[in-house]
Structure 1
Amino acid sequence: MAWRQRLPVLAAALWWGGLTAIGGIAVPLLFATLPTPAQAGQVAARLFSALTWIGLGCGLVMLVASRERGEAPRMDWARGALVFVLAGMLLALLSEFAVAPRIVARENLRLWHGVGSALFGLQWVCALVALWKAVGAAGRPAD
């Protein structure tokens, strides 16, 4: 398998794995072990922000890898994975620039934590579907 076929799989795995590890392990552990929820929230906010940039970088790698040299990205790449890549990137941006500032400002925390959690969950699903489809595409012979 050529490196060009493996690159989107690696990017999708990093994106989904990062979301899984941070959202499923690190952040709950922060809230369970740090002395106050405020301290845990500050560290969690930094981790989620880092995940935004990781997700955008991984999505960009997948977008670049989805096109042949000199062509526009193909929407049929990996049987529709690009839709999920783009949606995941949009969800990451919305979380970072629309939701996170409201949480940091402690503005209606219940609402914005709920919205943020929903966006995170949807981004996790998008990254998983992109990974699943990228693995399938990498296993198929080139046309």
Structure 2
Amino acid sequence: MLHRLPALVAALWWGSLTTIGFLVVPMLFAHLPSPTVAGNMAARLFAAQTWVAVACCLVLLLVSRPRQAAAQYPWAQAAMVFILGGMLLALLTQFGVAPRIVARQDLRVWHGVGTVMYALQWCCALAVLWQTLRHDPQTPTGGGSAGA
């Protein structure tokens, strides 16, 4: 079971991004009484999503290589740039873009930037999930494909 942890964590990251961004937030704007109320709740959900993403990325980094080994697992070698990129995108969105949206500073521009960054983070999480499912996590070096 432990060898499947990277795939489970990547699935949690990608699934939470998918659920919040493509299901829950649109439903807030469709069903809450005003865009302001929906926007405030969406901001809270996106903040929580940031910490889910950071926690998942940290776990993925911690399990990226076997104990006492210099080489990373094959999935980690292929996914490292996406793990780091996704975590950076999450943090930049939360601390760089979200405050500008909340302050309604050039709302259209910053909302667009935030949407693009969220979509890029979603792509990073999907790439990590794909890599964790593609490689056999028990093989610390080269090959070991478990099928695509």
Written as runs of structure 1 = structure 2, the 5 A alignment for 1:57-136 is 57-70=55-68, 74=72, 76-136=74-134
> How many pairs were matched up?
140
Contact 2:74/2:139 (<8 A) preserved = no
Identity of aligned residues (%): 55
More helix by share: 1
TM-score (norm 2): 0.88
CA distance in 1, matches of 2:69, 2:39: 43
Cα deviation, 1:83-109, whole Å, max 9, x if unaligned, reads 101100000000000000001111110
- Tell me what 1:37 maps to: 35
* Kept after mapping to 2: 8 A contact 1:79/1:133: no
Shift in alpha-carbon separation, 1:87–1:113, aligned structure 2, 3 A: same
Corresponding residue number in structure 2 for 1:142 = 139
Deviation at 1:71, TM superposition (A): 5.1
- Superposition CA RMSD, Å: 1.8
Q: Tell me, which stretches of 5 or more residues in structure 2 are unaligned?
A: 141-148
In structure 1, runs of 5+ residues without a counterpart are: none
Which runs of 4 or more aligned residues in structure 1 lie more than 6 Å from their structure 2 counterparts after TM superposition? none
Taking a change above 3 Å as real, the CA distance of residues 73 and 49 of structure 1, as seen in their structure-2 partners, is farther
